[in-house]
Structure 1
Amino acid sequence: MNPVNTDTIRPSGREALLDHEARLVYEWAVRHRRVEPADRARIARDLGLTEARCRRAVDLLAALCLLVRRPGAERDCYTTVGPEAAVARLTGQEEARLRLEEAELGRRQAALARLRAEPASLAPVYRSQGGGSDGSVRLLEDVHVLRSAAESVVGAAKEEVPAIRPGGGHPEKALAQSLPLDLELLARGVRLRSVYQHPTRFDPPTRSFAELVIAAGAEIRTRAEVSAQLVVVDRTTAFVPARPATGGALLVREPSLVAYFVRVFEHEWSQAVPYDTAPTAARTVSRDVPDVIAVLLAAGEKDDTTARRLGMSTRTCRRHIAELLARLGAQSRFQAGVPAEREGLTVPADVRADVTAPR
């Protein structure tokens, strides 16, 4: 059998491969056990089609292996094939090709693992001869080194991975890359807690990712403003930002520093609200964001700085500022100072909570 090029018959979008005309022609062919060149005029007449439309339907059925050429017969003399047999003919070679590609991918992944392992095996020699630091704080100079180290350390987690992830929405590619590892960690019983910013609730890729990992057991909360990016693994290792231009980070194993970063996370976690996309959650975050904006305005922050700290666009931030001024009945930011202070908005939310909490 000649190979079938499925690329030539693959539909675009949600378009069906088999249209109504092709189905009618297949039904006619099954009833008459054949389709020959001399039959096309009859098929067109019986089904109310033009010969060109009939020819197109026959070609499509042949491409899908629902019609196959009779052995020894002239060209375009076909007999019908059942759908199950057609599927086997059509997909058999494609499945075999995919199996070969999977085997090749496995071979390349194994080679990559060996490539990583060989230089890494010299790390004890490097440290024993005084190379680098004592290992308690190590600079990962760019995003590629960081990604490799993070995959290794996080992938070996046994108990928990708390993380602070700033930004209003996370890149879809990065989310797709981290999803398998997160699901694997959750399946092993590792506790995953993350603090995001409020706008992630309204970013479709981040929201889809969050809902998937929450369903698998992860815990996610959000705040209007969070501290810098932070990942802690089993309370023994932390990753914190460094070298912003190259996307590098510090890998920290010094116990006192790691303990400090754990306290930073726990503070952020205690001030955050559970992740939800329901209307009640939207109302909660819509009250929280203006309060933080009031604090930042009182501190004299510019619009673009405020927007960056809140993980939103400058345009969205300015809309929130306008709504805050209208709520306070102020015509300018200067005029907003007195009513904002009177309402206690210029005091950070976590401080207000501490002051008003019952003793």
Structure 2
Amino acid sequence: MHDDGEIAALERDLVLGARREYRRLTGDVAASAQADRGALIGVRRRTICALPTEGADALAAQDIAHDDEVRVLAGRPPAELLIVDDVAVVRLATGALVVRTPVLSSLLADYFEHLWDRAVPLADDGVRPAGGLTAVQRRILRLAAEGFKDDSIARVLGLSSRSVRRHMEKLAARAGASNRLTLGAAAARLGWI
């Protein structure tokens, strides 16, 4: 397919017709919020927002619906991907490839799962790890472990850079760390990440 309007309509129809799950890999979080989620009761919705570690556009958590699972991954994807049940749409520089062959869509689903495991959860999962960190502190540590700089973490979480630095300083003091590297090692040792 080459027409952007046709591709968008196909993606919308696939998402609205989802029976079990839809998975999206995108560099644009707004793309994950386009579907009418009221029609998707009982459908698992997962999105990986792949953002560059430097110069990322602001990613506002309020743009993401409560029922969606969203994770952030540093770097741009080679192509944007939408997998709905057993059908995949791979967006290319010009147009898109629609994959309906079960073997190929399964391979793309495996690729998504691999990236999902590496990505950092954006939403609070409700679990308080050892050390009693706040949800914001856990998100900051996860993004830092993924390679995000303080300014990028601030944009992703909708905080000021100064606030992120203060959190990092408090976490470092609490862990007895003298820099980001030793903080990362201490956070892993303490079960914070």
Bucket of the pairwise TM-score, normalised by the shorter protein: 0.5 to 0.7
> Where does residue 218 of structure 1 map in the other structure?
68
Give how far 1:255 is off. Answer: 1.2
Residues 15-65 of structure 1: CA deviation (Å, up to 9, x unaligned) = xxxxxxxxxxxxxxxxxxxxxxxxxxxxxxxxxxxxxxxxxxxxxxxxxxx
The structure where strand makes up a greater share of residues is: 2
The aligned residue for residue 139 of structure 2 is: 281
Q: What residue ranges of structure 1 are gaps of 5+ in the alignment?
A: 1-139, 292-342, 344-359
CA shift, 1:226, in A, is 5.3
- The root-mean-square deviation of aligned C-alpha atoms, in Å, is 3.0
Within-5 A mapping of 1:115-134: none
Aligned to 1:265: 112
Distance 1:149 1:290, change over 3 A: closer
Greater gyration radius: 1
Greater relative CO (CA pairs within 8 A, separation 6+): 2
AA of the residue aligned to 1:270 = D
Q: 2: CA distance between counterparts of 1:159 and 1:241?
A: 22
Q: 1:193 to 1:166 in 2, by over 3 A?
A: same
Gaps of 5+ in 2: 124-134, 150-180, 182-193
Deviations 1:167-216 (CA, angstroms, capped at 9, x unpaired) = 5xx45xx566x15x13431xx20111111135799825x42112xx1x2x
Structure 2 distance, partners of 1:261, 1:175, is 18
Q: Percent identity?
A: 26
User: Equivalent residue for 1:207?
Assistant: 61
CA distance change for structure 1 residues 218 and 286 in 2, over 3 Å: closer, same or farther? same
CA distance in 1, matches of 2:108, 2:6: 22
Q: Aligned partners of 2:107, 2:3: CA distance in 1, in Å?
A: 24
Choose between structure 1 and 2: higher helix proportion. Answer: 1
Secondary structure at the counterpart of residue 280 of structure 1: helix
CA contact (8 A) 2:25 2:82 kept: yes
Residue correspondence of structure 1 range 1-359 to structure 2 within 5 A: 140-167=1-28, 170-171=29-30, 178-179=34-35, 181-185=36-40, 188-197=41-50, 203-204=58-59, 206-210=60-64, 213=65, 215=66, 217-225=67-75, 227=77, 228-234=79-85, 236-242=86-92, 244-245=93-94, 248-276=95-123, 278-289=136-147
Number of corresponding residues: 137
Could you list the structure 1 runs, at least 4 aligned residues long, displaced by more than 4 angstroms after superposition: 198-202
Task: Give 3-state SS (helix, strand or coil) of 1:144's partner.
Answer: helix
